[in-house]
């Protein structure tokens, strides 16, 4: 590797590190000064536990990763919370259709007239100075929304939309976690492949030196072998950095506190079948949450139209009261206006029913009806577009999964051939029948083939997850 480029890269890294650490260093003395304990406080960043800890690393499978991510992802939890809130709205809408029962206790103390023979108070609406009320009230509002049940049906549609959106969030999180999970598995594979390439480069360098000392190879072979070895050493360090970055990306998704002390299960070699397109299409039509949202939105818009039409119908309000309203708090009372009648029953009921007919509102109800019909047409247009987009995404995702599956088989075979080619060329070089360039080319070909195979595995797993986001699990 060029020494000047290495020095410049090291200088740039030190400059970035100094820029990060200098603000923390400048804040430290001020925080330690007397009287400044509460000034400039900041949240400390705890160093994440690494692999050097005494505790064994947590073994995480893909299913474990999905369950952990669902407990920590804010967007998914918000969608689940919205679905729960929508369920409570449906419960409230159903309860609003039923009669309400309440209890009323009142005492009306009216100023008297001051005339001994007049038992009434100064307010003519009260039949005595003291009036006691103890009612059980039954109230029922028979509006068009009640007897047409549009409110309940609309709340049920809103709940279905919220559930579908939470499913969209869950499947989107599944794709993200799957991609990040297998990205770490691929990074670990590439790290192992880079380590093997570094070891192979070191062995080839030693072989070339031995061949030169024996007079069987030119010094140019040693130079080429050393260049190859240095480049593979650098690639090994880059692979280590990529693996640690992939681990951090996954740790952010899985743990509430950043924790790097875990390892993932590399199950990419286990075959995962791809169903036929007809099965995938059937599953998408039945299980796709975006299509469910569009359908329920059309249903909700239709209910809004029904509610707007129902506003032209009459509404009925019924109040049934049972209890007492007397000058004494008792089941039998003497009327202030007819004391000669003696105690009479005070317990009874009365019923009030009122019906309202809309007559004239300057076109407000008709305007609202037109407004809901326009929204209904928009919802239908959105449903049609969602159906077309779903079919397009289904074709694209299935084709991607098919090509990725074929690429896995092809790249696996290519990697096996590259490994065998390197073995044969090494034997030929030791026998003096091959050049150093051929060995270096075989090493690079094997590294590229292994990385391509790992990338194709990742591509296939992500393609399957993206397809299942449209169809559900298969």
Enumerate the domain spans of the chain. Answer: 56-97+149-313+364-474, 101-145+314-357
Q: How far apart are CA 307 and CA 421, in angstroms?
A: 75
Question: What's the pLDDT tens digit per position in 428-460?
Answer: 988 888 888 999 999 999 999 999 999 999 999
pLDDT of residue 107: 87
Show the low-confidence residues of the chain (pLDDT under 70): 1-54, 113-125, 336-337
pLDDT of residue 302: 95
Nearest to 206 by CA among 179, 190, 228: 228
Q: Which helix (H) or strand (E) holds 101?
A: strand 100-109
pLDDT of residue 367: 96
pLDDT of residue 336: 67
- Beta bridge partners, 247, equal none
The reported pTM is 0.77
Residue 114 has which token pair? 């001051």
Residue 232 has which token pair? 């593979």
- Beta bridge partners, 107, equal 132
Q: How far apart are CA 74 and CA 428, in angstroms?
A: 59
Same fold, 56-97+149-313+364-474 and 101-145+314-357: no
pLDDT of residue 123: 66
**Mean predicted lDDT score pLDDT of the chain:** 85
Long-range contact pairs involving 246-251 (C-beta distance under 8 Å, separation at least 24): 246/180, 246/183, 246/184, 246/186, 246/187, 247/184, 247/187, 248/48, 249/180, 249/183, 249/184, 250/65, 250/177, 250/180, 250/181, 250/183, 250/184, 251/48
Residue 408 has which token pair? 């896995």
Per 3-state DSSP, the chain is made up of helix, strand and coil in percentages (nearest 5) of 65, 10, 25
Nearest to 244 by CA among 204, 283, 190: 190
CB–CB of 186/454 below 8 Å?
yes
CB–CB of 57/51 below 8 Å?
yes
Q: Which CATH number fits domain 101-145+314-357: 2.40.160, 1.10.287, 2.20.200, 2.30.230?
A: 2.20.200
365-to-153, 375, 380 alpha-carbon distances in Å: 21, 15, 23
pLDDT of residue 161: 96
Report the sign of the C-alpha dihedral through residues 323, 325, 331, 332, in that order: negative
Q: How far apart are CA 368 and CA 309, in angstroms?
A: 9
Q: What is the chain's length?
A: 474
- Beta bridge partners, 446, equal none
pLDDT of residue 54: 63
Q: How far apart are CA 385 and CA 25, in angstroms?
A: 57
CB–CB of 358/310 below 8 Å?
no
Alpha helices (H) in 35-73, listed in sequence order: 62-72
Q: Which helix (H) or strand (E) holds 106?
A: strand 100-109
Residue 105: left if φ>0, alpha if ψ -120 to 50, beta else—which one? Answer: beta
Q: What angle do CA 64, 69, 75 make, to 5 degrees?
A: 155
- The CATH architecture to which 56-97+149-313+364-474 belongs is Up-down Bundle (1.20)
Residue 436 has which token pair? 């150093």
Phi, psi (5° rounding) for residue 349?
-140, 160
Question: What's the pLDDT tens digit per position in 319-365?
Answer: 999 998 888 888 888 776 677 778 888 889 989 999 999 999 899 99
Helix 150-213 and helix 436-471: axis angle, to 10°?
A: 170
DSSP collapsed to 3 states, 321-378? EEEEEECCCCCEEECCCCHHHCEEECEEEEEEEEEECCCCCCCHHHHHHHHHHHHHHH
CB–CB of 437/248 below 8 Å?
no
């Amino acid at each position: 590797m060029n020494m000047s480029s290495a020095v410049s890269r090291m200088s740039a890294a030190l400059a970035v590190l100094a820029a990060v650490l200098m603000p923390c260093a400048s804040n430290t003395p001020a925080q330690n000064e007397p009287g400044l304990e509460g000034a400039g406080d900041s949240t400390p960043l705890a160093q994440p536990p690494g692999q050097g800890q005494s505790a064994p690393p947590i073994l995480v499978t893909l299913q474990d990763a999905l369950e952990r991510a669902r407990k920590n992802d804010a967007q998914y939890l918000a969608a689940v919370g919205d679905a729960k809130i929508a369920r409570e709205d449906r419960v409230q809408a159903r309860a609003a259709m039923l009669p309400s029962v309440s209890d009323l206790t009142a005492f009306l103390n009216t100023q008297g007239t001051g005339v001994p023979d007049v038992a009434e108070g100064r307010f003519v609406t009260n039949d005595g100075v003291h009036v006691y009320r103890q009612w059980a009230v039954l109230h029922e509002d028979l509006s068009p929304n009640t007897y047409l049940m549009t409110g309940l049906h609309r709340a049920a549609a809103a709940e279905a939309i919220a559930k579908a959106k939470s499913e969209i969030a869950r499947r989107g999180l599944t794709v993200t976690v799957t991609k990040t999970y297998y990205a770490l598995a691929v990074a670990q594979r590439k790290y192992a492949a880079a380590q093997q390439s570094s070891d192979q480069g070191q062995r080839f360098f030693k072989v070339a030196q031995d061949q030169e000392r024996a007079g069987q190879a030119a010094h140019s072979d040693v130079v080429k072998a050393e260049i190859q070895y240095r480049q593979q050493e650098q690639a090994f360090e880059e692979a280590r950095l990529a693996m640690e970055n992939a681990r951090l990306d996954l740790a952010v998704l899985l743990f509430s506190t950043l924790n790097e002390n875990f390892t993932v299960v590399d199950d990419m070699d286990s075959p995962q079948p791809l169903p036929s397109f007809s099965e995938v299409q059937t599953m998408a039509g039945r299980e796709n949450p975006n299509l469910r949202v569009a359908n329920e939105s059309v249903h909700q818009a239709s209910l809004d139209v029904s509610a707007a039409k129902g506003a032209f119908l009459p509404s009925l309000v019924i109040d049934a009261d049972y209890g007492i309203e007397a000058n004494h708090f008792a089941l039998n009372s003497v009327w202030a206006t007819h004391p000669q009648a003696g105690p009479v029953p005070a317990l009874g009921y009365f019923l009030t029913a009122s019906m309202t007919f809309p007559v004239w509102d300057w076109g407000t109800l008709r305007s609202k009806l037109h407004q809901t019909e326009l929204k209904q047409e928009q919802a239908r247009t959105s449903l049609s577009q969602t159906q077309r987009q779903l079919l397009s995404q289904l074709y694209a995702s299935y084709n991607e999964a098919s090509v990725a599956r074929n690429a896995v088989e092809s790249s696996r075979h290519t990697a096996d051939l590259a490994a065998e080619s390197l073995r044969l060329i090494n034997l030929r070089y030791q026998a003096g029948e091959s050049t150093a360039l051929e060995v270096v080319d075989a090493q690079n070909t094997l590294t590229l083939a292994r990385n391509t195979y790992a990338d194709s595995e990742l591509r296939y797993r992500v393609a399957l997850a993206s397809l299942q986001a449209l169809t559900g699990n298969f």
